[in-house]
Structure 1
């Protein structure tokens, strides 16, 4: 039987061509064995490390999703809208779609965003997941003012599926990374004030009810919307869903600059890892 092989190991992800990008996303879960199996078998990540109460899954040896057992209460209106796993190529996205079709994984949406092509689903505990591929930066359309143009258009799944390999799916390829996190927030102006004005991310695009921010000219590393969370207050301790996400600094100078911003904004530092929570208690951790 033919195995689906990775053909794109040398491709650099557009999301990671920036001073800062998103690293591992940590989720607080109720049923650790069930969620571990889902991210391994359905999503296609490899189980990299396992310890009592914790599973770490990723691709190419890099942790992308960390599952922590012990959700004490349901998630509130604010929190994670979706984590977004970025594949190296359209070919890889086609292979994942074939895997989903053959194994009965239920999709909740599929969109062409002009800068990217994306598939949407949720894990068994309701955490949103986007699996996507980027077009190259020269292909991104521009608005008359020079800004990036994004939209939500129909993705032709039949055409995408026609580009897939045959054979057994062997998981997400080396070179897969975390592309962005999309959050549910109570107010987009407050999200912009925190992520842009305090932490220094650039505002890239505004949709009705949503703001998209990034580092290094990417279309978005962090997004916040109020589509189901307008006016939401801070999350409670021990909620299911998002626990934290990593901001990965490209080099020592970038790390130092973001560390200074985090501490100046009231963050804290534990064992050399600066961290801060946004107004809804979504916590980010700065790493190298």
Structure 2
């Protein structure tokens, strides 16, 4: 199949009239911070492992992540689906047909960010999305990365992105420089043939590069995810904070743009059930568990680590791999 992938086509999919408008939409997804690849994100002392979502319509949502993101359905039953790439699980969907959709002003998931191994992979995926007329919610250049935003059928946010080489990231006093500029679509698409989609499935190296959460209070979230979990701050501004391990630009984003003052999440709604942060170092895991227990956090022992609950009821699993 061939397509006429013009800037107008992409703007139409993003519901925008100009690249500036699309960047503004992406700014709403990343906080409008005005003025590499997964191998780097994955070799840090901690990294994101996988994500589990509660969904009303299992088949519809599973098909979306298979057909749009390109994940392989590794297991599927009437109650759950496991998806990933190269035999590695990235996403688990749990069927909750009677659940209400989690409101956007509640704490919970802002988006799951799928990191492509290369910029060319992002270009190939963008051609794939456009050829299937997938609605987009924004696209932008963040200086450290280039990103496209969209929502799954139940409103769970998604980012598909590619990192720039870490040597190009600009750090100053522990803070990494980021922006929300217009994505140079022609330059991105110059890496592939935009008239011939060739993205049959997610590349083997795709991983969940970072998670972005809605929280009720930024300072409280930082106390938990920095002070207790042990991620390092990399940037803070405009109601959002970003943290990482090993000087990645961010493994975790948190914001209060829609959720300031949010209380405990309702586990009977759809949305994020839990996500994992994984490490190969037993001393990191032991230190995390000690801080969690000393801090009075609810901790559940698992076979390969622990599960903790953040101040709004979002579950994070700290696992050794």
Normalising to structure 1: TM-score of the pair?
Answer: 0.92
What does residue 280 of structure 1 align with?
312
What does residue 32 of structure 2 align with?
none
1:159 aligns with 2:187: yes
Higher helix share: 2
Superposed counterparts of 1:238-257, under 5 Å: 238-257=268-287
**C-alpha displacement of 1:161:** 1.9
What does residue 80 of structure 1 align with?
109
- The structure 2 residue matched to 1:100, chosen from 102, 119, 129, is 129
Contact 1:13-1:177 within 8 A present in 2 as well: no
Once residues 146 and 36 of structure 1 are traced to their aligned partners in structure 2, the CA distance between those partners, rounded to angstroms, is: 39
Q: Which runs of 5+ in 2 are unaligned?
A: 2-36
Once residues 139 and 80 of structure 2 are traced to their aligned partners in structure 1, the CA distance between those partners, rounded to angstroms, is: 31
Superposed counterparts of 1:168-179, under 5 Å: 168-179=198-209
- The structure 2 residue matched to 1:147, chosen from 170, 175, 182, is 175
1:51 aligns with 2:77: yes
**C-alpha displacement of 1:146:** 5.2
Superposed counterparts of 1:123-272, under 5 Å: 123-143=152-172, 145=173, 147-165=175-193, 166-265=196-295, 266=297, 267-272=299-304
What does residue 37 of structure 1 align with?
63
**C-alpha displacement of 1:272:** 4.1
SS for the counterpart of 2:290 is: helix
Q: How large is the Cα RMSD of the aligned pairs?
A: 1.7
Once residues 174 and 315 of structure 2 are traced to their aligned partners in structure 1, the CA distance between those partners, rounded to angstroms, is: 32
Deviates further, 162-171 or 41-50: 162-171
1:64 aligns with 2:94: no
Once residues 209 and 234 of structure 1 are traced to their aligned partners in structure 2, the CA distance between those partners, rounded to angstroms, is: 19
